[in-house]
Structure 1
């Protein structure tokens, strides 16, 4: 059947969108990586730095929802282009002398530009792959985030150590503009879009029913816990290595890569295992819902051991493995939402899902900053913050196990939508 054939050029677009996510996460990580030099130069305490970390997410969710509805009507290729231009331009003011307020405003603008990134990229990629072939490209796409950090951290840290953190921002602006040029030349819209015949067979479901379905709520809850861990990694991992464990800024750059390397392996493994399970007849409840939730619970339990371990390499290892396991949920949730959401509503639903779970990005850096500021020692503050993270990850994983039933969701929603309405 023709709808099961992957169109020519699908993997080229996947690679370009992988690079898109790579730039996206390099932009996110730079403040955390340069955390200690920024705090020293600007005389910031832990609470102020936590505010800087969370400012990135201030308009992130709102922007994700607005753009999610826009991509239901506007081609994703142009939306992706506009977003990448905003990211690039938002980096350049930091090249010169900059005040805390300017840095804060630029991070808010960057967050608004990057908020819809993953949802729009997923929506774009689903126009190139039929449902049963989406898990692997989704995994590759989400790996752009890990590789963005793995490749960017050594390069950006070298600039920070040998030149200045200001130039690290400028370098990211240039790289962003390079992607814009590549996308202008090679970016295309996918051919697997809604046709009149598909629309007739794929009726609209009221948004209220989609957004209150148990699988949608389960995806938001589970990914919230994973994103709490991720936003702490973006903002606080390098400062923890330097201030909490006593590593030098130079060594911390290499250590900061470890969670992302481990996370990359987990995400790619999850995508591959999920695809194999589906071909062997597992339901999407097992091959997506359970497969994404269980690692979150295990990861949270591993983080909970940190305060009882020896400071140094053991703590780093527990943090790397605990937070890295949470990445499995990013691979399975977008395909689960795609299973039961009508194509013409998919962009908005995935964007709203993204907007809800990324609220963790506003809260987590602030909570960690506040806990560190009021702790007896920085290390004690960090460990309390990671314990809070552990509780949230275990809770969100359990909610995922309870609520993620995508295989029965579509039939239930369509039956609900077909019921006659009485005044």
Structure 2
């Protein structure tokens, strides 16, 4: 275990990154909240709006991977500042009259700016916290998303109902600019664990990306993340519309009801983060404290979503939907910590963005697939239920893969052994040359 401890300023950074993720997910969620008025104003079909939801992820993964390699070479504080500015500026074209093409273009650019957000924010936070103390700050940063949406959705919905959906986008643009100024003034770069140490179970040197990527643990992290993100992307794009068209609520009621999954996320994810860190402190293996909890949460959410379409009571239907989408979010906290256990710090930014890119690629498919299913269903409610059933199976499969193959300690030991063997070979060659 590392003997390093975070400084007090580390929690200032965590707070700023918490706000960063708050704005990030408010930007994502506003499109679903405004779905009904946007579809009416622009006369969009469900499949067209599904395309709008999916377009956000068109450059999301590509941008995430590219930025991941960039932040291996530059300070994360400047990357985060650039992202914050991009988010703000892409909201302002939505203030005026827009068409279908402009709407898609703005969402594509916003997705490109937001793709690297979470892994880069974690990479920034991890420079302030040693391995055994990362789970709680990770949970806090990630819950900027849930708490942000809980706070933002009612306020944004008020603007939509009282004025128009254009005002909601304007408010987000201004909020993004305020955060960018705060980060410019207060953001700092941490230096903790800049050099990998054997106490963290990592190799002394760089590991070829081929070896890092082509191992069962990284594959399982991507699979479980993909399963969780299928549901998350549906929640972002379609949940408010489902509440209106599927369950019969009004736009005003939807503003509050849409916060339910995010409220649950706050308690579930922070609670799981606390449990995981507590188990690690009590010397439980990472397999138990991180892998089984993370993969199990995704699988459990999938089971709830599979059951949901077969329940007729509206309140129980909504409860299963909220549970099925919320619980898998635990994996967003635990899988980055798992991958970081065996990834050298100099390569961590790239690895976190790569697994995030693969996981979030579910967003390219899920909203559009749901739109097509709704359009072809006998009723909107029937289409939604079929779409959520598919989501349940995707989550269940991803969670089971995570439970079976997330093995960070085994990967760390394997890489450390390979590094030691390579070092021993080099020493023998050097000694042989000296003997000659």
Aligned to 2:118: 118
User: Structure 2 residue aligned with 1:398, among 386, 397, 400?
Assistant: 400
Q: Distance in 2 between matches of 1:418 and 1:49?
A: 54
Aligned to 1:250: 252
**Cα contact 2:60–2:115 (8 A) shared by 1:** yes
**TM-score normalised according to structure 1 size:** 0.97
1:146 aligns to what SS in structure 2? helix
- Per-residue deviation at 1:197? 8.4
Instruction: Assess if the C-alpha contact under 8 Å between 1:202 and 1:343 holds in 2.
Output: no
Match of 2:103 in 1: 103
Give CA-to-partner distance per residue, 1:109-147, whole Å, 9 cap, x none.
000000000010000000000000000000001101101
Structure-2 separation of matches of 1:195 and 1:332? 22
Please report how far the alpha carbon of residue 358 of structure 1 lies from its aligned counterpart in structure 2 after TM superposition. Answer: 0.5
Give the conservation status (yes or no) of the 8 Å contact 1:245–1:311.
no
> Which residue of the partner structure matches residue 328 of structure 1?
330
Aligned to 1:312: 314
Task: Give me the whole-angstrom Cα distance separating, in 2, the residues matched to 1:298 and 1:90.
Answer: 37
SS at match of 1:247: coil
Structure 1 residues 320 and 413: CA distance shift in structure 2, 3 A: same
Q: Distance between the aligned counterparts of 2:246 and 2:203, measured in 1? A: 57
- The answer on whether the counterparts of 1:292 and 1:328 sit within 8 Å (CA) in structure 2 is yes
More displaced stretch, 185-194 vs 150-159 = 185-194
Residue 8 of structure 1 and its aligned partner are, at CA, apart by: 2.9
SS at match of 2:8: coil
- Given the alignment, which residue of 380, 383, 386 partners 2:385? 383
* Residues in 1 aligned to 2:241 and 2:181: alpha-carbon distance in whole angstroms: 35
Secondary structure (helix, strand or coil) at the match of 1:327 reads helix
Task: Write the deviation string for residues 343-386 of structure 1: whole angstroms up to 9, x where unpaired.
Answer: 10000000101110010011100110010010110000000000
Aligned partner of 1:290 in structure 2 is 292
**Structure-1 residue corresponding to 2:67:** 67
Shift in CA distance, 131/373, structure 1 to aligned 2, threshold 3 Å: same
1:263 is displaced (CA, Å) by: 1.4
Could you tell me how far 1:59 is from its partner in structure 2?
A: 0.1
Q: 5 Å matches for 1:355-366? A: 355-366=357-368
Q: Can you give the 5+ residue segments of structure 2 that lack an aligned partner in the other structure?
A: 426-436
Aligned residues: 421
Matching residue of 1:410: 412
User: Would the aligned equivalents of 1:206 and 1:417 in 2 still touch at CA under 8 Å?
Assistant: no
TM-score (norm 2): 0.94
1:191 and 2:191 are equivalent in the alignment: yes
Whole-Å separation in 1 of the counterparts to 2:156 and 2:209: 42
User: Once superposed, what is the RMSD of the aligned Cα atoms?
Assistant: 1.7
State how far apart, in whole Å, the 1-side matches of 2:113 and 2:82 are.
8
Segments of 4+ in structure 1 off by > 6 A? Answer: none
> What per-residue deviation string (whole Å, max 9, x for no partner) do you get for residues 7-63 of structure 1?
230000000000000000000000000001100110001000000000000000000
SS at match of 1:190: coil
Displacement after TM superposition at 1:413 (Å): 2.1
